Amino acid sequence: MVEVTEVGGAGAAKPDAPGDLPEVARRSLEGSSPAHAPELSPARGGPPVPRAPGGGVPGAHRIHILIAGGGRVRETVSEDLSDVLRSIEQAGNQEVWIDIEADDAERALAPFDAKVSTDHYLVQNQEKRSVLGWPYLVRDQLAPQYCVLVAAGENALVTVHPTDVPHDPIANARKVIDSAVHARTDGGFKPLGSFREFAFLQIAESCVTEMMGAIQKQSKRLGQVYDNVYGDEFRPAAIQTALFDIHRYLEQTLSPTLFLAREFLFTLERGGAHFLPLEDVKTDLARLAEEIDRLMGLKTNMETTIELVSNAVRAKLSEETLQASWQLQLAVEVLVRVSLLLMIPTAVFSLWPLMPFPVDQPFDLLGIRTYSVVWNVLTALVLTVAAQLLLSRMYKRAFKIDALKGARRPPAAPPGGAR
């Protein structure tokens, strides 16, 4: 991607010669060219072994060269950075899009004097080129990715993005660009204008779509967490951890990325990129900005849902606390009643011999010969029943035992899930 730094100056149909490139770009081209590839050290007693071409500069993984013409797009894949300049020279007046998948974006972007950072976006106009950079989200990645786009002159467009990223929007836009251009020109759509503007629009739409997928994935996860609140296995610690992870993703990853993408599109609407004016797609840029605003609204709704789920977890914990209080109170009540059943008869049988009347002689009660042990049993029974009745009355009035009994019944689960 280095050689596009001097491609297509104002009024020129072709890029400058390699000798006019900046020194760092020239060295990168020479190092990546097969003609300048140094030979490997030969084995002892053997012939020299030439190095295979196609490594490119450090960080260049694969180069996709797309040239539009005749309502179709021709794509060529290469691993030699010098093919970039050759493709631009051979394209003539046709517009070309070069997509570079870079393993090391820092080193791949060195010739463009661009700093890769997901903390800000980049709209920088340099000599004969505009360098654009913005972060974007991928639904299967927690950390945001970063794309750099270079509009060189009037014909060349170069993009640099990470490699081997599932659902990468830049790679997806590149794969469908041929069918999109063919449908735009031959399928009844309005005639295609600038291929560079159209390619940028496809990339921007893919980024917005992928960010919507990232929000939908988090929304689905939040719905599952909400369902677990009233599930059979209620695990408050796991639920709170999941809510914290979702909230952290929304606040630290999603929200800053949406804000930067919105500001990036707003800057382009005002014509911030001199070599990529985007005059014919400003309406589409405004539409994408509105889509990002709607995504911000969805993020706000998810924050509200997180608060509702947190309140539901706290309510469920309160219910379990009341139920545990009822169970504890019930255990204490049973313990006290059992203690009375044991203590009162024991006390009666122990203290009965101390009564001031003879307790070891039988007597007649209503014509029935009665012994003292009968009085022991009757006395213990009457005192035990009286104590149990007084204990029940005390629990009802002092400890509100009926309220605790009602609280132990779990409420019915709501009919719907999280919204």
Alpha-carbon span 72 to 91, nearest angstrom = 14
Contact 278, 285 (CB under 8 A): yes
181 pLDDT higher than 50: yes
91 pLDDT higher than 50: yes
Query: Up-side HSE of residue 226: CA atoms within 13 Å toward CB?
Result: 20
Alpha-carbon span 168 to 162, nearest angstrom = 9
Task: Give me the pLDDT at residue 103, please.
Answer: 77
- Check residues 394 and 415 and name the one with the higher pLDDT: 394
Q: Is the pTM of this model over 0.85?
A: no
- Check residues 74 and 115 and name the one with the higher pLDDT: 74
293 pLDDT higher than 90: yes
**pLDDT bracket for residue 411 (50, 70, 90):** low
- Check residues 114 and 249 and name the one with the higher pLDDT: 249
Domain coordinates in residue numbering, the chain: 2-37+52-312, 321-407
Task: Give me the pLDDT at residue 257, please.
Answer: 92
Q: What is the DSSP string of 381-417?
A: HHHHHHHHHHHHHHHHHHS-HHHHHHHTSPPPPPSS-
The CATH number of the structural domain formed by 2-37+52-312 is 3.30.460.20
- Overall average pLDDT of the 193-206 stretch: 89
- Which residue, 146, 145, 152, 169, is CA-closest to 111? 152
Model pLDDT for residues 148-176, shown as the tens digit of each residue: 888 877 888 888 887 877 778 888 888 88
Task: Give me the pLDDT at residue 71, please.
Answer: 76
Contact 222, 418 (CB under 8 A): yes
252 pLDDT higher than 60: yes
Alpha-carbon span 112 to 126, nearest angstrom = 9
Mean pLDDT, the chain, rounded, equals 75
Task: Give me the pLDDT at residue 251, please.
Answer: 92
- Check residues 149 and 25 and name the one with the higher pLDDT: 149
Alpha-carbon span 97 to 64, nearest angstrom = 8
Task: Give me the pLDDT at residue 122, please.
Answer: 87
